[in-house]
Chains A and B, each alone.
Chain A
Amino acid sequence: MPDPQPVTVGPGGVAAAGGILLALALAAVVLDGVLAARAAGLPAGAAVARPLDETVRLLRQRRRAPVSSDVLLWRLGGGGLVVVALLMVAVVPLGRWVVADLDVGVVWFNAMDVAVWVLVWLVGWGPNSVHSLVGGYRFLALALAYELPLMFAIVAPAVGAASLRVADVAAAQEGLWFVVWMPVAFVVYCLGVLAFSLWGPFAVPLGRDVAGGVLAELSGVDRLLVQAGRYALLAAGAAFAVPMFLGGGSGPVLPGWAWVLVKTVLLLGALVALRRRLPAVRPELAMEVGWVVLLPAVLVQDLVVAVVVAARG
């Protein structure tokens, strides 16, 4: 049962929100490792310890920076991804609780996902390395293609609920989840989440064909932060979909906060699993697909939602 007036939590709650996001990101790493092991026909046991192994390895690794790299911008870009993911989940209500009950929470989420443009490009620019820079430009090319469809996709639930407050959007889905009658917006939103997390088909900015792209020169704790940021963004995107499309905390038996977590974990698992099922999106072709196919489709979706809302009065 979603609560239309969520309680803003104190500092302890903020720390808890960060902890939950980190736990979700870790779960995504483990799941991805298990799927990778299974795809390679190896035992999955080692994948469970993988996040810990990799964290310890990167924390012990020495940070290095190429000659005349712009260390300030590089580190800002790399460290910013986790921060942006935290700021995204700040507006997602967990049952009764929310970190920041903004009246324009939907726009806030959008502003944060645009900040990823800046951060990824800076990670590409910073190290003064060709491969990184190519990766940064690839991301911007993809961003121009996916961002407008993503924006109009999150417009649909906001119009459906007649509010930009995330808690209002969740509360407006009593009886019928928005994913049921806004399927196009939901699919485009999920593609956007994959894209701003540099995940699966949208991982070409860090592709092997450009020697790792934006990851090429990252080492030690800097690499750890960027990789953690990607998984955290994926988790934050899944968490934000719950109040927007999946009915928020509504569901039988369990309390609201538990349903939010269950739905987030399920969607996150699906997004992680998609990584090995979709082909890579070529940046030079993405623009036309985004603007000739996805954008009109999602605009029609918005029109349908607006007409339904107007007809209902």
Chain B
Amino acid sequence: MLLDVAFWVLGLVAVASAVLVFVVDSMARATYALALSFVAVGLALLLLEQSYVGVVTVLMMLMEMAVMGVYMVMYMGMNPALMPMSMVHDNRAALGVSAATFVVLAAGALLVPWPVRRGVPAPDVTAALGEALMGRQMLVMVVVSPVMVATIVTGVVLAAGRTRYDRFGDDLDASPPRDPHRGGVGR
């Protein structure tokens, strides 16, 4: 009973705050409405006894939204998002797409023949979930992660305006490097 109430309250908070993202007129409020939505989802995961996954979701999403808020304020909107703004653009098409997506997903959830439980849950459901998600695909995951790191590094290198020749000179022998700001460890 208590769990049912908690589930419905968390579900409603998650959906309502996700809607608020598109209703509020401030970038900070939109960001933290989204954060609240994610936190509600993370807490709902606790109801599945996935305590690690639930708490880590809360942790990562709070961190991510705190950083994302900074970027949203920096980049979104013609003004730097310090004035009232809207998260909604091209209202009619957006409404159509989102309504269609919602109908498809909700119909899927309602119409799919859900399997009945066979056996009992594993004693450690978090380990069981990890095994089910990753067990067979471990090799793929191990290969993908260095590729992702390489992609991030490459992206930063390509996007950076200053190359190592700007920092260390044509013969790469300038010491200390010529940086616009000093670093914290004497460089």
A residues sitting closer than 8 Å to B (CB atoms) are 70, 72-73, 102-104, 107-108, 110-111, 114-115, 117-118, 121-122, 125, 137, 140, 143-144, 147, 164, 282, 284-290, 292-293
Contact = CB atoms under 8 A, between A and B. Distances in A.
Contacts of B185: 288-289, 292-293
Contact of A117 (B52, B56, B62): B62
A297 to B, nearest CB: 12
B118 interface: no
B130 interface: no
Interface stretch (B9-17, B65-73, B150-158): B65-73
A285 B182 contact: yes
A104 B62 contact: no
Contacts of B52: 104, 107, 164
Interface string B40-74: 00000000000110011011001101110110000
Contacts of A121: 66, 69-70
User: Would you call the interface of chain B mostly helix, strand, loop, or mixed?
Assistant: helix
B21 interface: no
Contacts of A122: 28, 32
Contacts of A284: 181
Contact of B70 (A72, A140, A147, A287): A140
B70 to A, nearest CB: 6
A73 B29 contact: yes
B59 A118 contact: no
B86 interface: no
Given A111-B55, A111-B59, A292-B185, A118 B70 contact: no
Interface string B130-161: 00000000000000000000000000000000
B184 A114 contact: no
Contacts of A72: 29
Interface residues of B, number: 24
Nearest to A125: B28
Given A104-B51, A107-B55, A118 B183 contact: no
Contacts of A285: 182-184
B62 A288 contact: no
B35 interface: yes
A114 B59 contact: yes
Task: Please provide the 10 A-B residue pairs with the shortest distance between their CB atoms, ordered closest to farther.
Answer: A285-B184, A111-B59, A288-B184, A288-B183, A289-B184, A117-B66, A107-B55, A111-B58, A114-B63, A114-B62
Nearest to A111: B59
Contacts of B56: 107, 111
Contacts of A143: 66
Contacts of A73: 28-29, 32
A191 B98 CA distance: 46
B184 A108 contact: no
B142 to A, nearest CB: 18
Nearest to A121: B66
Instruction: Tell me which of B52, B66, B182, B187 has the highest count of chain A C-beta atoms within 10 A of its own C-beta.
Output: B66
Interface string B1-42: 000000000000000000000000010110010010000000
A147 B28 contact: no
13 contacts: A70-B29, A104-B51, A107-B59, A114-B63, A114-B66, A118-B65, A140-B67, A282-B184, A285-B184, A287-B184, A288-B185, A292-B185, A293-B185
Nearest to A282: B184
A110 B52 CA distance: 12
Contacts of B59: 107, 110-111, 114
Given A110-B59, A121-B69, 19 more contacts: A70-B29, A73-B32, A104-B51, A104-B52, A104-B55, A107-B52, A107-B56, A107-B59, A111-B59, A114-B66, A118-B65, A121-B66, A122-B28, A140-B67, A143-B66, A287-B184, A290-B184, A292-B183, A293-B185
Contacts of A108: 55
